[in-house]
Amino acid sequence: MSPGRLSVVATPLGNLGDLTPRAAATLREADLVAAEDTRRARTLLTHVEARPRVLSFHAHSPASRLETILARLDDGARVALVTDAGTPTVSDPGAELVRRARAAGHTVEAVAGPSAVAAALSVSGLPADRFLFLGFPPRRGAERRALLGEAAQSPFTTVLFESPHRVARLLADLEAAAGPERPAVVARELTKRHEEVRAGTLHDLAVYYGEHEARGEVTVVLAGAARGAPSPATPLDDLAARARTLLRRGLSRKDVARQLADEGVSRNEAYRLVTDL
């Protein structure tokens, strides 16, 4: 029996007109579509008049789902992997499927197309000859502070993803780590009807999104650190800067201490830090 074929298919960020002819043909020829969100996948499949079987496959799928897909490949099936939007396996599930399929001798092909990373960089106005992609940052704790510190100190433009209801906090944290004057861009709802690309300093963007609720998919692009920029602040300095930012936003000292504690700082340390400011 001939080996199966796994096609990693990039799908539109929002505008269905961005689907490539090759991607449309691949979806029509597929025996199975492994989709992060089956409802979105079915909308796309209807658009191109494709009628394959659709199987849910996302970060929280049981291990048996991966085995089911691999078994179909073993049977010689043509499987298309799609995510909610953009290119699969880029800050999305699917990398293990690609590894396992290739190890089993199946053909793995990229059906290239839209990417939120490339799209945001292209309209950011920031250097993109070299860039750092960090995906979705951790929500709290030392791991989050370390990742944002890496973004702040990188000499390269940095791209992050974030959910709309957390983007204001991300910008505030980046301001604390990289300084209020660091240029950045927030790209929202790329290719969609309400697309918005807002450029400014981290401080200005943090204030704006602190006052205006972001909606839809959000990509943040941060300018790289200037050559000769100061060395990274100590963790205590990072926390103090974060606390001052929150106080400037009008939060009470009690609320600031509670916010720091929610982000992974010990409660005693948070209250002592805020009291000392």
Please tell me the predicted confidence (pLDDT) of residue 131. 97
Shared domain for 277 and 251, answered yes or no, is: yes
* Domain extent at residue 239: 233-277
Shared domain for 171 and 74, answered yes or no, is: no
Looking at 114, 149, 175, the residue that finishes a domain is 114
The set of residues, in sequence order, having a beta carbon less than 8 Å from that of 96 and lying 6+ positions away, is: 66
Kindly state the tokens that stand for 112: 């290239």
Q: Which of 17, 196, 59 is nearest to 123 (CA)?
A: 196
CA 11-217-185 angle, to 5 degrees, is 110
Number of domains in the chain: 3
Shared domain for 206 and 217, answered yes or no, is: yes
Query: Any idea what DSSP says for residue 86?
Result: B
Looking at 92, 114, 136, the residue that finishes a domain is 114
Average pLDDT for consecutive 10-residue bins of the chain (277 residues)?
A: 91 95 98 96 96 95 95 97 93 90 97 96 96 94 90 96 95 92 97 96 96 94 80 60 82 83 71 78
Contact in structure between 26 and 9 (CB atoms under 8 Å): yes
Please tell me the predicted confidence (pLDDT) of residue 231. 47
The set of residues, in sequence order, having a beta carbon less than 8 Å from that of 208 and lying 6+ positions away, is: 198, 200
Rg of the chain in Å (alpha carbons): 22
Shared domain for 109 and 169, answered yes or no, is: no
Shared domain for 167 and 246, answered yes or no, is: no
Looking at 59, 81, 114, the residue that finishes a domain is 114
Shared domain for 107 and 122, answered yes or no, is: no
Please tell me the predicted confidence (pLDDT) of residue 237. 65
Q: Which of 184, 185, 182, 186 is nearest to 225 (CA)?
A: 182
Shared domain for 51 and 152, answered yes or no, is: no
Kindly state the tokens that stand for 105: 């001798």
CATH number of the domain encompassing residue 182: 3.30.950.10
Shared domain for 105 and 192, answered yes or no, is: no
CATH number of the domain encompassing residue 99: 3.40.1010.10
- Sheet with strand 157-162: strands edge to edge: 131-135, 157-162, 218-222, 183-188, 196-201
What is the rounded distance in angstroms from the CA atom of residue 168 to the CA atom of residue 69?
39
Please tell me the predicted confidence (pLDDT) of residue 100. 96
What is the rounded distance in angstroms from the CA atom of residue 14 to the CA atom of residue 40?
10
Shared domain for 139 and 161, answered yes or no, is: yes
Shared domain for 257 and 206, answered yes or no, is: no
Shared domain for 154 and 169, answered yes or no, is: yes
